[in-house]
Structure 1
């Protein structure tokens, strides 16, 4: 009896020994991980972009109608503020408002950033103007959560210009930085090199990195015409172009195909007349800004240039392409 009882006890203990490990393992069985991913979407919607943009354009229109240069600062900044003040000053002095100042209210595309934080930029491409001028590339920027968006830059797109593809607004695009890598050149280097090409033309060491474009063609033609007159009286001219790194905005193309950078390049055009002659304005806009008949042998004109460059990947074998620009004299001095 005792032997039989002992055997039953051993068997029972063995069963318990088997059950305990199984029970312990049951608490460590792998379970599907909870899906912690959340849908990422831009903070700004298309409807909000439209509301912001139309409010800014309304304020600009009101200042235009009043011919009031002081009316722009609340909704404009960067190179576009300087350009608009110059255009309105010329209008005040009887030169009329430049047709290039027109900003259509309808748009073809808006590129909304996915990035959190500030500063935050929106790139918007308008339709053509009523008189069939080219589309405008607008750059709106919000410096902080406490500040409103402002129109910082505008480039008139060149005819036939091909912009990179961007993500749809509901997905959002990534803003780039001045030092984005794996491109033909970083955005800040591309602007600096382009400024050198503007200044030195085909003699620039960077000329081969850039496709030909309308801004360079028009600048070369204007310079050549002025040079004809300068040579007749032994005069000289010189142009210097300088990038303003803190006034640069970058958006990355879809699928990492490159960057679109919009930036400011200041220009100084100094013309010296020879043979005791006077140096005078080279355009109606320069004449209106100078607003005087007291000429000297030397005239210096300060220009603001806005350029939009598409910078492809270094591995693409493609050149950097200027897809749009704006150029405006903002100051004329007799030295």
Structure 2
């Protein structure tokens, strides 16, 4: 796309988000929002309603600091937008914009929060575009597909994972481990917790950086299961609204959509894979 076309897409996305957020209506999103972004926003509307507006949907500015545009004649096409900082002074977002075919509109497929102090790697000028890489592209520390599968293993096994030395410490992993321990502590008197991380390998998109590395975008599906062995768990308003239950006596299952953006250095580099941005968002709750 030209820069003018990109700006028009972002303006239209802003209008769609504004109208849908005001009405808390997920049906109003579908002209410009799809994939995990649609699932996340839909759950956020349920949360906003259940909390009487106390927990509003995530702020998603559409003004850009940088555009990373694909250099390709194939579809689907993915463009990344590093946004301005939101008005609430949270971290800038990386918006993942995807066009499924030549006749489709670009949709917001996902978003992720930029890590504190993270510097984006240099990419080609948007007017030229960044070459798109295959999921099994050689010449990198890890292939794009392997980044997602091996990071999932690190989340599962921590420092015990054989892949752990390949990844720099990051805020997303720390947040996952902290939340997992918090859940375990909260339910230890009535049950146990288990968590799985499944890479959605078909979601992987990679674009070259100037230094011969790559920016890799992908999705994990995280499932958190709380098994209740005695007594019951009373659900908070959001969980109750998403599950349709006020409490559970057997199990409670959370499904999360995780949108992740990595920098992968070129093969032979002395640096590790770095997580640039991540989003961990609850999309469904069930229980009995």
Q: Which has the higher helix share?
A: 1
| Alpha-carbon distance, 1:261 to partner | 1.1
- Please state whether the residue corresponding to 1:188 is helix, strand or coil: helix
Q: Which has the higher strand share?
A: 2
> What TM-score, normalized by structure 1, do the two folds share?
0.81
User: If the length of structure 2 is used for normalisation, what is the TM-score?
Assistant: 0.94
1:245 paired residue number: 201
CA distance in 2, matches of 1:278, 1:165: 52
Aligned length in residues: 288
Aligned counterpart, 2:255 = 302
Aligned residue number for residue 167 of structure 2: 210
Q: Is the 8 A contact 1:95 1:288 kept in 2?
A: no
Greater C-alpha Rg: 1
1:126 and 1:247 map into 2 onto residues whose CA distance is: 22
Task: Measure how far apart 1:160 and its partner are.
Answer: 0.7
For 2:108, the equivalent position in structure 1 comes to 151
- Going from structure 1 to structure 2, the CA distance change for 1:97 and 1:309 (only over 3 Å counts) comes to farther
Stretches of 4+ moved more than 4 A in 1?
97-100
Change (3 A) 1:206 1:284: farther
Give 2:226's aligned residue: 271
Q: Does 1:254 find its partner at 2:210?
A: yes
CA distance 1:134–1:293, change in 2 (3 Å): same
Question: Is it true that 1:110 corresponds to 2:101 in the alignment?
Answer: no
Which of the numbers 303, 323, 329 marks the counterpart of 2:276? Answer: 323
In structure 2, C-alpha distance between the alignment counterparts of 1:165 and 1:204, rounded to whole Å: 30
Name the structure 2 match of 1:236. Answer: 192
Change (3 A) 1:200 1:183: same
- Provide the residue aligned with 1:6 in structure 2: none
Please name the residue that 1:30 is paired with.
none
Q: Is the 8 A contact 1:52 1:149 kept in 2?
A: yes
Q: By how many angstroms is 1:91 displaced?
A: 1.7
Partner SS state of residue 139, structure 1 = strand
**Aligned-residue offset at 1:285:** 4.1
**What is the alpha-carbon distance in structure 1 between the residues aligned to residue 196 and residue 109 of structure 2?**
23
Gaps of 5+ in 1: 1-43
SS at structure 2 position matched to 1:315: coil
- Call closer, same or farther: CA 1:263–1:96 in 2, change over 3 Å: farther
Partners of 1:95 and 1:284 within 8 A in 2: no
Cα deviation digits, residues 190-233 of structure 1 (max 9, x gap): 10111111122222221111111111111111211222233334
Please, what is the CA RMSD of the aligned residues? 1.8
